[in-house]
Structure formats: C-alpha cells, structure tokens
Amino acid sequence: MIAAGQPAPEFTLRNQDGEKVSLSDFRGKKVLLVFYPLDFSPVCSDQLSIYQEVKPEIEAKGVQMVGISVDSGFAHKAFQEKLGIDTPLLADFEPKGEVARAYGAYIEKVGHANRSLVLVDAEGTIEWVHESPTPLEIPGANLIFDALS
C-alpha cells in the first residue's frame, strides 16, 4: 500500500457519467480516494452510505471525496442511484484495477481493490493512508475526521 509522503500516482478514469476525471483535476485542494471492492456488495453499500451522511462535513473541510472500484461507469451510475448517493465514483475498469495497483490497493487473487482510504494533499502528495485489515471492515468516518483534524 502506498504511504504518506509519497507522490500520489496520477490517473485518469471515467466517472459514473462517462466523464474523464484526473487526479490533477483536484490540484489545489485535498481529495480523499475511497478504494472499495465492488458496487452493490453489502459492505461497500454500507460504507458509502455512511460517508454520504457526512459528505457535507468532509467537503466543508475542503476535501473532495471520490470512490474508486473496478466496476464500470454504468454500474457506478446504478449504484449511486440505488444508494441515493452523489459521491463521484470512478471506474478503474480497463485496464482492470490499474489505478488500485498503482496505489498498492489491488488484491490480485480476488480481482478487486481492497478497502482503503488515501488522502492526497493540495500539491498531490499523499498525506494519510488507511488500509482496512480485511475488505470486510469499514473504515469509520471518524478516521477520516481524525486525519483531517
């Protein structure tokens, strides 16, 4: 897993609406990358639902939050609608898991990302990383607020 202090690997992925989103688009403000395994899986659903509830508070601290999984943009769109969330979701779809691999967040034997949080500062350097011990464990939103305080 990538570590704090390292430069955040640049990427360009398509979001749920098919629009290209690059890490450099966020230069000048902090961005929280939420790597998660799969759309519609129970734990991921719970995680993103919880984060949606505190998204205004996270954004009030000058942080944009984006989710990243290997699902396609179409799946992301449906997932957003199902959950009632508006967190942008980026499709690390093809090459599969390329961005997750660049961050050390890809689990090869299962073919999806782990469950981790990567806070990138306004200059593009990794400020904080949290990797869940297992994909079954949701990082509480309290960890995010602790990292931002």
Partner 1 sequence: MPPAGPDDHRKGEGPELIVYADLGCPHCASAWVEISKREATVVFRHFPVASKHPRSPALHAAAEAAGLQGRFFAMVDALYADRGHVDDPHLWQRVERLGLDLERFEADRRSASIAARVRRDFESGIRAGVTGTPAIFD
Q: Which residues contribute to the site for partner 1 (CB under 8 A)?
A: 45-50, 52-54, 83-85, 138-143, 145
Catalytic positions, written as ranges = 44
Give the nearest distance from C-beta 53 to partner 1 in angstroms: 6
Cis preceding linkage at 9, omega within 30: no
Residue with Cβ nearer partner 1 (80 or 97): 80
> What six digits make up the tokens of 11?
């990427």
Q: In the bound complex, what is the minimum distance in angstroms from residue 87's beta carbon to partner 1?
A: 10
Contact 35, 100 (CB under 8 A): yes
Alpha-carbon distance 87 to 22, whole Å? Answer: 15
Q: Which is nearer to partner 1, 122 or 141 (CB)?
A: 141
In the bound complex, what is the minimum distance in angstroms from residue 45's beta carbon to partner 1?
7
Measured CA to CA in angstroms, residue 95 lies from 32, 70, 99, 103, 148 at distances of: 22, 9, 9, 14, 32
Q: Which residue in 4, 5, 8 sits closest to 102, CA to CA?
A: 8
**CA 149 – CA 47 distance, rounded (Å):** 21
Our CB check for partner 1 shows the closer of 23 and 89 to be 89
Task: Return the number of the residue (85 or 129) whose C-beta is nearest partner 1.
Answer: 85
Q: How far is the CB of 58 from partner 1 (least distance, A)?
A: 11
